Amino acid sequence: MCGIVAYIGEKQAFPILLEGLKRLEYRGYDSAGISILNGTLKTVKKKGKVSDLEAVSATIDTTGTLGIGHTRWATHGKPDDINAHPHNSGDGTISLVHNGIIENYATIKKALEDRGHVFKSQTDTEVLVHLIEEFKNQDNLDLEQAVTKALSRVVGAYAIVVVDKENPNQIVAARKSSPLVLGIGDKEFYVASDASPIIKYTKKVVYLNDEEIAIANRDGSFVVKNIHNEIQEPVIQELDLKIEQLEKGGYDHFMLKEIMEQPTTIAESMRGRINAEEGWVSLGGLEEHQQRILNAHRIIFVACGTSWHSALIAEYLIEDLARIPVEVEYASEFRYRNPILTEKDVVIAISQSGETADTLAALEIAKEKGALTYGIVNVVGSSIARVTDSGSYIHAGPEIGVASTKAFTSQLVVLILMALKLGEKKGTIPSGMLRELIYGLESVPKKVAEILEQKEKIKLIAQEIQNKPNALYLGRGLNFPVALEGALKLKEISYIHAEGYPAAEMKHGPIALIDEDMPVFIVATNVSAHEKIVSNIQEVKARKGVVIAIVNEGDNIISGLADFTFEIPYIEEPLTPLLSVIPLQLISYYISVMRGCNVDQPRNLAKSVTVE
């Protein structure tokens, strides 16, 4: 939700900021803007994409070695030029970019209006820059002091960068519940929402903690303090990221690149964690707290969106293989009720970004109640990775497309490893089965590659479905969450209304929707419930529904019934979601392209949801 980038140093700031905004555009693309300080404060902002901003900037003098930039996902105020960031103080000296929500902005705005402040936008952010201005002028404070004082008055979430025309040798950045990274170069500093705009220039970074303020000076010095004015010892980290990982690598879209990368990313997720020959599974973060997890009264997963679907699959696997009770919660619901939690529970957060606000808030509750917290996260150094007691990275590499694909399969790998390890330690998995599943896991990258090689066949199916207004996705057992994931992928990038349902629930309502115009995707790879899924297909066909079935290779029974069939290679049943989801990802991708949608940046969405 909103991307921030800033630069101070000896280079020209504008090209750095523009390129940074392009890298951050996945976080929001309603509008973009840049302020440059060069004697005067120049702000240019535009509704739409960073390319729209680039076009309007072409005629403006953008020279200057200090600047801030922003790409917006709108919360308060519609997407337009005025609501775009940066926002400037009334006297035009201070400029600010913000990611997050100032919850008490209305009260502050009223008080400032009473003191004569005039606001141009409908945003909560503009209130913050006026508040900083008010403290700076009224109390005769410097920028750093005024920012600190203003932040002590606001309620909500923020990552901000602020510059002041009267202090052209400094940028001030601060965070609370929204990510911010300080990049340290040679007598220069970068600030950004994530490391992607920074990596080209420096690998040395400091991830700010909540309620920390960084003051970066043109002479190369910097200070990190907290909101109570106490100096903090910054932890300088080395980034483990390559610039090529952030490029499309010859593909038309990041989503397709990320789908096609899955043989590699799946292998990366299990690298060093299994050995089929020797028959072992190892998951460092889990082993550190093994006894507590094995003895847990319950494992509670908290997550959102695709990560929530991974958690549903984990529920099936952990209960089946390790016999530990599991609950799966939408983080956004969990945080607002009064959940019963004790120190005997383990709360596992799953998140690609590691920054999802609802998931973070759910973890806070778990910590307060004394539960052990565990993070299954992709982005290294992200907030969830840092606040949890333990965890496992999924090692999928940067995921830029808003629709999550490779993160899903890598999450599944880690969750399968977790189920296997817990089952092994509990003695609930026979050793023969454990070894068979480890062998099965090792075969996944090759089998995913085989599926991807058939993408032309999937394109043909997509062609048949592309103009339908609705779609139903059905699955049983482990394939029910896969059906949910298939439906989410289709709706978010092609805007076709799609619903996922447990196949057996169809007769309790959704069957009324079925007619010759309703495509029904059936994930039918369950060996154990084959006859039942065949009956479900018969029920759809009897009502003239169009069946697209994902089946195990050689399943002539379902192939004979379905209108379209896609076969996946044989794999042990607990591992089938790793394969059955791949054709669904590709079908959604192709339909989105065929419908002329913006695949990587679907309307109204952003990659990382750092607001409630």
Contact 455, 448 (CB under 8 A): no
Least distance in angstroms from the C-beta of 385 to ligand M6R: 12
Per-residue H/E/C for 322-371: HCCCEEEEEHHHHCCCCCCCCCCEEEEEEECCCCCHHHHHHHHHHHHCCC
Residue span binding ligand M6R (CB under 6 A) among the ranges 257-265, 400-408, 559-567, 573-581: 400-408
Give SS3 for 545: coil
Residue span binding ligand M6R (CB under 6 A) among the ranges 21-29, 239-247, 298-306, 367-375: 298-306
Among 62, 404, 565, 610, binds ligand M6R (CB under 6 A): 404
* CA gap 195, 19 in Å, rounded: 13
Least distance in angstroms from the C-beta of 267 to ligand M6R: 21
Collect all residues with Cβ–Cβ distance below 8 Å to 164 and sequence separation of at least 6. 93, 94, 136, 143, 170
Per 3-state DSSP, the chain is made up of helix, strand and coil in percentages (nearest 5) of 40, 25, 35
Return the residues of window 344-383 that contact ligand M6R according to CB under 6 A.
351-353, 356, 359
Residue span binding ligand M6R (CB under 6 A) among the ranges 286-294, 402-410, 497-505, 557-565: 402-410
518 is a site residue for ligand M6R (CB under 6 A) = no
Residues 431-470 as x/- pattern, contact with ligand M6R by CB under 6 A: ----------------------------------------
* CA gap 467, 444 in Å, rounded: 33
* CA gap 138, 159 in Å, rounded: 24
Contact 580, 523 (CB under 8 A): yes
410 is a site residue for ligand M6R (CB under 6 A) = no
For ligand M6R, the closer of residues 170 and 306 by Cβ is 306
Residues 471-490 as x/- pattern, contact with ligand M6R by CB under 6 A: -----------------x--
584 is a site residue for ligand M6R (CB under 6 A) = no
CB atoms within 10 A of CB 172: 26
* CA gap 73, 488 in Å, rounded: 20
* CA gap 176, 174 in Å, rounded: 7
Q: State yes or no: is 2 an active-site residue.
A: yes
For ligand M6R, the closer of residues 18 and 593 by Cβ is 593
576 is a site residue for ligand M6R (CB under 6 A) = no
Question: Which among 165, 447, 491, 607 is annotated as catalytic?
Answer: 607
403 is a site residue for ligand M6R (CB under 6 A) = yes
Smallest Cα–Cα separation from 483: which of 467, 499, 470? 499
609 is a site residue for ligand M6R (CB under 6 A) = yes
For ligand M6R, the closer of residues 315 and 492 by Cβ is 492
- In the bound state, the residue with its beta carbon closest to ligand M6R is 305
62 is a site residue for ligand M6R (CB under 6 A) = no
* CA gap 611, 158 in Å, rounded: 10
Question: Which among 2, 45, 165, 225 is annotated as catalytic?
Answer: 2
Q: State yes or no: is 304 an active-site residue.
A: no
196 is a site residue for ligand M6R (CB under 6 A) = no
For ligand M6R, the closer of residues 17 and 413 by Cβ is 413
Residues 300-339 as x/- pattern, contact with ligand M6R by CB under 6 A: ----xxxx--------------------------------
Least distance in angstroms from the C-beta of 403 to ligand M6R: 4
For ligand M6R, the closer of residues 125 and 353 by Cβ is 353
Contact 79, 604 (CB under 8 A): no
Place of tokens 């480890």: 438
526 is a site residue for ligand M6R (CB under 6 A) = no
The residues that bridge with 505 in the sheet, in sequence order, are none
Question: How, if at all, do strands 546-552 and 519-524 pair?
Answer: parallel
* Neighbour-count burial of 228, counting CB atoms closer than 10 A to its CB (0-12 exposed, 13-18 middle, 19+ buried): exposed
610 is a site residue for ligand M6R (CB under 6 A) = no
> Residues in the site for ligand M6R, rule: CB under 6 A?
304-307, 351-353, 356, 359, 402-404, 488, 492, 608-609
Residues involved in catalysis: 2, 607
